[in-house]
Structure 1
């Protein structure tokens, strides 16, 4: 009887969910510069982060964490990024300064996904980093499924030690990305997608 019930469950799963597949076929990023209020409330954001954390994680290491950036912090962040950028690259013109100072003002909520990958006797660092990337993708998908739009960005400050430290990483941690979440102010524009015929090959034993 147990085997019969399990087969029925598997049969149900094998049919899948047409609506979910339709959603995944159409999901796309939305430029943060075109986002507006409202962003997710606390319950919605908690749900998104809970979903984001449901990823493959070899060894159950949880090699990632989240940092949430609120709108009221955006000006302070932007001023510091502009100052660091100017020290790195020389004087900024008005357009460049505006770009740097408003990076965290474009979306109602920004979530930094931090990779905490570290040497482990059994789990390669690369696998841990892939898990953090999966968190970013899950969060992007969860935001879209919740009726918001999102964009996964890194930008120069992810890789600049001083800027990344200011934004919250410590030690050997790295930003896997910043997920900007908000409401669309315009329809997204579809972009060309890869041709699978260029990407998929069947393995053949050539020995």
Structure 2
């Protein structure tokens, strides 16, 4: 049976600009619902090779200090405005959820499949936000790949950030971007 509401939800989800995410933010119950949905992904071997780290309130600023400190270490001549851009990376949206990969060697399940499971979790997280009436953007910028930032955010040495999902209420309408033509993407045998 076709579910028109579910199809419309999938057809209308889009990634807004992070600067267009405003309060109100999802509350704890809504976040728990979104995370439960994001956990329902293909997971070969039931390893749960990912986890979630929620940044809200002052935690966004504390994480920003970690990012800014690493940036200043690498860019000692950067002016205060540029450092402030880095400091506010996780404060632009009301809530940011890091999806953290715990993928590792396994006798039967390749690390690649484990990582893809975490990426699928990011996808479901942005869809769950949309279903709850919020907007979300999945970003991975330089600090997601920096081991000093990861350590400063409390990640283990073997953990990687798959993405930061920024979410909140859409502050203004967004134009949809052009989508690729299916004829350019699909090959039928």
TM-score by length of 2: 0.95
Contact 2:147 2:157 in 1 (8 A): no
Contact 2:52 2:98 in 1 (8 A): yes
Give the Cα–Cα distance (whole angstroms) in 1 for the partners of residues 68 and 3 of structure 2.
46
Contact 1:153 1:178 in 2 (8 A): yes
Partner of 1:59: helix, strand, or coil? helix
For 1:44, the equivalent position in structure 2 comes to 30
For 1:153, the equivalent position in structure 2 comes to 139
- 1:68 aligned to 48, 51, 54, which one? 54
Contact 1:84 1:163 in 2 (8 A): yes
For structure 1, list consecutive stretches of 5 or more residues without a partner in the other structure.
1-12
Deviations 1:171-197 (Å, cap 9, x if unpaired)? 211000011110111111211111111
For 2:164, the equivalent position in structure 1 comes to 178
**Where does 1:123-142 land on structure 2 (aligned, <5 Å)?**
123-142=109-128
Change (3 A) 1:161 1:51: same
Partner of 1:123: helix, strand, or coil? coil
Cα drift, residue 137 of structure 1? 0.2
Whichever of the two has the greater Rg, that structure is: 1
Write out the 4+ residue segments of structure 1 that deviate beyond 4 Å after TM superposition. none
Give the Cα–Cα distance (whole angstroms) in 2 for the partners of residues 64 and 76 of structure 1.
23
- 1:22 aligned to 8, 29, 38, which one? 8
Aligned residues, how many?
Answer: 189
Contact 1:55 1:131 in 2 (8 A): yes
Cα drift, residue 89 of structure 1? 2.7
Contact 1:71 1:104 in 2 (8 A): no
For 1:193, the equivalent position in structure 2 comes to 179
Contact 1:67 1:168 in 2 (8 A): no
TM-score by length of 1: 0.87
For 1:84, the equivalent position in structure 2 comes to 70
Give the Cα–Cα distance (whole angstroms) in 2 for the partners of residues 173 and 142 of structure 1.
24
Deviations 1:60-90 (Å, cap 9, x if unpaired)? 1111011111221222222221121121133
- 2:108 aligned to 112, 122, 138, which one? 122
Give the Cα–Cα distance (whole angstroms) in 2 for the partners of residues 121 and 43 of structure 1.
37
Give the Cα–Cα distance (whole angstroms) in 2 for the partners of residues 51 and 75 of structure 1.
27
